[in-house]
A and B are shown apart, each in its own frame.
Chain A
Amino acid sequence: MKPARFHYVRPASIAEAVLLLAEHGEDASILAGGQSLMPVLNMRLSRPRVVVDINRIAKLKGIALADGAVRIGALARHVEVMRSPLIARHLPLIAEAMPNVAHVAVRNRGTFGGSVALADPSAEMPACLLALGGAVVLESTRGRRQVAAEDYFHGLYDTARRPDELLIEALIPPQRPDTLSAFMELSRRHGDFAIAGLACTLRHDAGVIHAPRLVYFGSEPRPVLARTAMAALDGKAWSPATHDAVAAALADDLDPIDNTFGSPAAKLHLQRVVTRRVLDGLPDKARAA
């Protein structure tokens, strides 16, 4: 298995990269960390005419807190995000999720932007971005636009990004000190593709839960904000009855994919297992916070 022939271009700036994308559009593949693109090139499942390697574009790198948002550059590698004190402090959900992203060698190379741009249904970062109410910045020769995560993930590997647009960065509001977050996924082996998973944030006051955001991934074509389950949790106290009601509500929010990892019914069951485990663990987490 070796990639089919392609032309390789290595733009040094965002301006140069978006010019290339404007010219080649759907004939071009953007190469960031390559941890998902390279396998499909090696297997020749994808045969782009042009590979645009964005790894040398300095402005796509780094993690910073500016204007009230955490900016994660598209080229920030998973390992950088995982080790970032800024992420640990302001986005503990992402810090908690990151060790679940693949394996060490893949995290050393894979990028935050690449994960969000590809929108693999079992990927952790798209789910976190949606749970945290973040946004992505896209740029083309036509200009720059910001798309909220809620409008960005359209379906299986399908996003709001157009073929001539480059994902520049993610902008994520810092978690408030009174926000609790939790992340859990189920996979066959640590680091493998998640079959079921939940990224969530919520606030609590004297044992009452407010403004929960529950995002399910792995079982669905795209990360799903589970609005019925959220409504079943909002304003309630932690209790087995509440947790059961949330788990039951999931039937209205989720429509799991049928594939070799399991039937829709099995995946709905697993998402309920994840939900109960996360909710059961949150009171202890709240006390520790």
Chain B
Amino acid sequence: MSLADDSLEETMAVTMTVNGERVSRAVPVRQNLIDFLRTGLGLTGSHIGCEHGICGACSLRLDGAVVRGCLTLAVQADGAEVVTIEGLTASGEAADLQAAFVERNALQCGYCTPGMLMTAAELLASDATPDRDGIREFMSGNFCRCTGYQAIVDAIETVLRKRRRLA
């Protein structure tokens, strides 16, 4: 197969559902999904941290599962369903979790918070009821440089117990 001139920015037309809305755009094939969402669609709730999959600030939901927005190309989300922190907030799915984060002081600068919420939402939506160590293990892919994690685990544990009717 013949490829276009190497010096050109190659784009591809994609259609995906983002926070319940169908969007069609031509995206550069090398653009990460997180950059498309932030700069292409103006959804700046998901943050960019390390850009190599270590920090978790860009966590979002792709076809129902939490993923790194910096480790997926926008073109790979063609036909997929994407939910960002904006969508999670609008649906009310994480309202109790967000309230618990505020109540427990589980954020200071807030940079990691959208990613924390996206990952914790996956735990809450599962049928697992881990103890504090298990919560830490589940959240181990999301970095926070302010809180020392204790308050984040507190908030998630509180909501987990409420949702499972354990408290």
Contacts and interface: CB of A to CB of B under 8 A. Distances in A.
Interface in B40-97: 51-53, 56, 59, 62, 65-68, 70-73, 75-76
A211 interface: no
Of the four ranges (under 10, 10 to 19, 20 to 34, 35 or more), the interface on chain B belongs to 35 or more
A20 B51 CA distance: 28
A105 B66 contact: yes
A39 B71 contact: yes
A286 interface: no
B141 A2 contact: no
B153 to A, nearest CB: 13
Interface stretch (A4-12, A167-175, A216-224, A229-237): A4-12
B162 to A, nearest CB: 22
A94 interface: no
B35 interface: yes
A285 interface: no
A50 interface: yes
B113 interface: no
B67 A105 contact: yes
Interface string A87-131: 000000000000100111110110000000000000000000000
A41 B130 CA distance: 35
Given A42-B51, A43-B52, A191-B140, A106 B29 contact: no
Interface residues of A, number: 38
Contacts of B131: none
B67 A109 contact: yes
A228 B23 CA distance: 60
A61 B27 CA distance: 27
Contacts of B10: 5-8
Interface of A: 1-10, 19-20, 23, 31, 34-35, 38-39, 41-43, 49-51, 53, 55, 79, 99, 102-106, 108-109, 189-191
Given A2-B35, A79-B65, A189-B140, 11 more contacts: A2-B30, A2-B31, A3-B30, A5-B10, A35-B68, A38-B32, A49-B6, A105-B119, A108-B67, A109-B67, A191-B141
29 contacts: A1-B51, A1-B52, A3-B30, A5-B7, A6-B10, A7-B4, A7-B10, A8-B29, A9-B1, A23-B1, A34-B72, A38-B52, A38-B72, A43-B51, A49-B3, A50-B3, A55-B76, A102-B141, A103-B141, A103-B142, A104-B122, A104-B141, A105-B56, A105-B66, A106-B68, A108-B66, A109-B67, A109-B72, A190-B137
